[in-house]
Each structure stands twice: as structure tokens, then as C-alpha cells.
Amino acid sequence: MPQAHTSPGPIQSLRAHAGRLMRQYTPPESGSLRHQGLMCTALSLVLITIFLGTYLAMGAGREVALGSGVAAVLMAGFVIDAILLLRFYACDPKAHRRLKELSWSSIALNSVLVGLLSLLMWGRDNEFYVLMIVPVLQAAIWLDLGGTAGVLLVSIFLNFLGAFPMDADEWAEAAAGSLIYALVAIVVWLLVNSLRDREARLKHNLEELARTRERLMAEEKLAAVGRLASAIAHEIRNPIAMITSSLVTARYNGQTEADRQRLFEIASSEAGRLERLTSDFLTYARAREIALERANVLETLEYVAGIARAHPDNGGVGIEIQAAAELEADFDVSQLQQALLNMAMNALDACQPGQTVVLQAERRPTGAISFQVIDPAGPIPAGTTARIFEPFFTTKPHGTGLGLAIARNIARAHGGDLTLSVNQPGRVCFAIEIPQHSARGPGRESAS
């Protein structure tokens, strides 16, 4: 038979609720509520200062021996509290252990002070129990429920001790003060631990977010490697297929010598294309270390222009250089020449015979050197610009799609970047901007 469900009694419910409260405590993290802990100790110092100043100002109306004893105790408390704060700041205030020592020392100091002052004020009006509000606050901030209850009981005991010998009014005053202590301790403890619990959950969520981000980055890297491997396979497959087809066809009977020669030339051309693809990929994948040296910018542009003018693919396109003769900068000459040559060859391929490509360099107001390759064959379609720096993306029939990717890697290795700075009808500009640690005066002039 199914057992009947019995609801827990009030005592069991109270015990379960108390257990949940005890388990609710969250130990403070390093730096958590640090400001509040320091403020409590500072508040204790301020209260002692106020009592000391009041007692000194009203000393004439009190018993000389009593006033001297109270003033001496308050002065000792002031000095010790000030030393605690100064020692905290002198001994690595960021250390979590130092803040716990400061809080415990402040709790003990106030308890001893109130106890001594209660004995000195025996049988008289005692207002010094107010000092115990600070230990109650510190316990609620730093201790668990048991520790907070212990400090609260000490505070209540000292509160009633300061009210002896008691009459009805003193009983009521001590009870009201004790009730205030209890309410402050409970409310502050619950609020502080609720904040700590939220802080712990937030920290856990941030850690989980960081782990998720790392997983996504790892997956993105794997996806990028997969896309790159797929692109490499696609680019290699075509020339290999052409080489295989040409060689197999050349072996068939009935082929004339001229046909065989043509097929061998096709195989040789595709082998050369495969070699270029492999070389470009190795250049892209294994970028060399940058070796900075002081070099003349105009001479670098003239070298690139000379190669571009003599290149077999230059179909009557002119090349103009614009740079100051005295302009110098720090960069890796050979690698930057390679990047500029890749950019210049792309510009030549886009131009019609009779058009002109401009190689330009100038110093920016920031001191960086800007190398620009400008052609009149614009604009580049939006669909192309979105993928223009993507490895193996090309619009040329025999391009590898690595020229701009290699150039951008070289620019970034210098601490700069390669961007499509202008893309409009009649003007396309690719620019490499390289920061400089030692900038000289700006200058610009034209040379052809």
C-alpha cells in the first residue's frame, strides 16, 4: 500500500529553514566587499574619536579619576585602531589575509574597549555600547551565521553589562539596543551573502562563457583549416588532372608529333602552375620573421616598378611612382617589395593597355608610412570585396588567390595592415600602412 504523505511539523520546518540559512553562507572571495570591510574599521576609528573628543570636552563636569580612566582607554583604542589601519596599508593592502586580520583585530579591539569602559562606568549612564555596532557589521560581512551569532551574543552581553545595576528603564534600553544589534546582524548578513551568491553565480557564468568561447574558437580554427584544406585540394586537383590527362592522351597511338608536343607543353605549364601554387601557399603559411632596416622608400618603389614593367603579363600598362626622394622608413625591404609587387600585378591585370598604375608612398600625420597602389579600373564588385583577402579566392583564370593574402600577412607582420582604402569608379587604391618608431619630416614629390 502506498505510504501516506505527512507534512513536516513546525519544529522540523524551522530546523530545515535554519539549515538552509547555514548552508547559504558563501565565503568571501579575495577582494570581495573589501571596501565595506575597510569602511567598518574606519567607522570604528571615527566613533572612538567622537567619544574621546566629547569626553575631553566635558571632562570638567565629571569625576577626575573616572574621566582620566575613560579618556586613557579611549586614547589607547584610538591609537591601536589607527595603527591597525596604517599597518594594513603598509603591508600589501591587496592581500586578502590582511583584510581578514584587520577585521578580526577591529572586532576584538571594540569588544575589549566596550568591556573596559562598561566596568569603568559601572552604575552610571553608559553610552559606549554603541561601539559594538561596528563588530556586528564586520561579523555579518566576513563571518558565517555561527560566527555572526557569536559576535552578536558578545555584543548583547556587553550591552546588558553596561546597564548594571538595572532598573526598568535600563532593562528596556538594553533590550532595545540588543534588538537593534540582532536586526542589523540578520539583515546585513542576508544581504551580504545574497550579493556573494550572485557574485559567485556571475563568476561561474563568466567562466562558462570563457570556456564556450574557447570551444567556439577551436571549432572555428578547425573549420578554417577544413576550408583551407578543401581549397588547396581543389586548386591542386585541377593541374594534376590536366597533367595526367595530357600524359595519358600523348601515349595513345595515332597522335602526331605536333599533338604530343602540345600535350607535353600543357603538362609542363600545369606543372609550373602547381609549383607556383605550392610556393605561394608556403609563403602564406610560413611567414618569415621581419628584419627591420632603414631603407629609402623611393628606391623600393622603383625596384617594384621595374619588375612590373618588365613582367610578361604587363600588356602596355604604364607605371608611375609618387614619393619623396628623401623619404626613409624602417621595414623589411625584401618582404615589402614582395607585398607591393603582388599588389602591383593585381592592378596591372585589372587595367587595359594605355592605362596607368600609380605606386605612391607618403608619411601620415601619425608618423606611419603609407604605401599605396592605385589603378583606374574600379570599382571592384561588392561580392568580390567581401572575399578579396580570403586565401585561394581569385577572379583570374590562372590565379592562385594568395597574392593579397600574402601581402596582408606581410603588412601585419610589420605591425600595420593592408586595406582597400578606395573603391570607386575610376579609382581603386590598396594601401599598406606601417607604423614607425622614428619618424622624420613629411615630404612628397613626383617622379616617373
Instruction: Enumerate domains of the chain plus CATH numbers.
Output: 27-210 (no CATH), 293-447 (3.30.565.10)
Contact 423, 378 (CB under 8 A): yes
Residue, of 229 and 271, whose pLDDT is higher: 271
Task: Indicate whether 160 pLDDT > 70.
Answer: yes
When pLDDT is averaged across residues 351-377 and rounded to a whole number, the result is 92
What does the pLDDT read at residue 9? 57
Rg over alpha carbons for the chain, rounded to the nearest Å, is 41
pLDDT tens-place string over residues 39-50: 777 787 888 888
pLDDT at position 441: 40
Q: What is the mean pLDDT of residues 282-302?
A: 83
Q: Provide DSSP, 302-350.
A: HHHHHHHHHSTT--S-EEEEE--TT-EEEE-HHHHHHHHHHHHHHHHHH
- Please name every residue paired with 429 in a beta bridge, in sequence order, or none if there are none: 374, 422
- Res 344 pLDDT > 80: yes
Q: Are strands 356-363 and 293-296 parallel, antiparallel or unpaired?
A: unpaired
- Proportion of the chain above pLDDT 90, given as a percent: 15
- Residue showing cell 606611419: 368
Between residues 168 and 397, the one the model is more confident about: 168
Supply 217's cell numbers.
Answer: 574558437
In the chain the first and final C-alpha atoms are separated, in Å, by: 104
CA distance 220 to 226: 10
231-270 tens-digit pLDDT: 667 667 777 887 888 888 877 766 778 878 888 888 887 7
Whole-prediction pTM? 0.46
CA distance 79 to 77: 6
**% pLDDT > 70, the chain:** 76
Q: How far apart are CA 127 and CA 177, in angstroms?
A: 11
pLDDT at 297: 94
Rounded Cα gap, residues 344 and 375, in angstroms: 9
Instruction: State the DSSP code for 390.
Output: S
Highest average pLDDT, of 85-94, 115-124, 162-171, comes from 115-124
Residue 2: pLDDT above 70? no
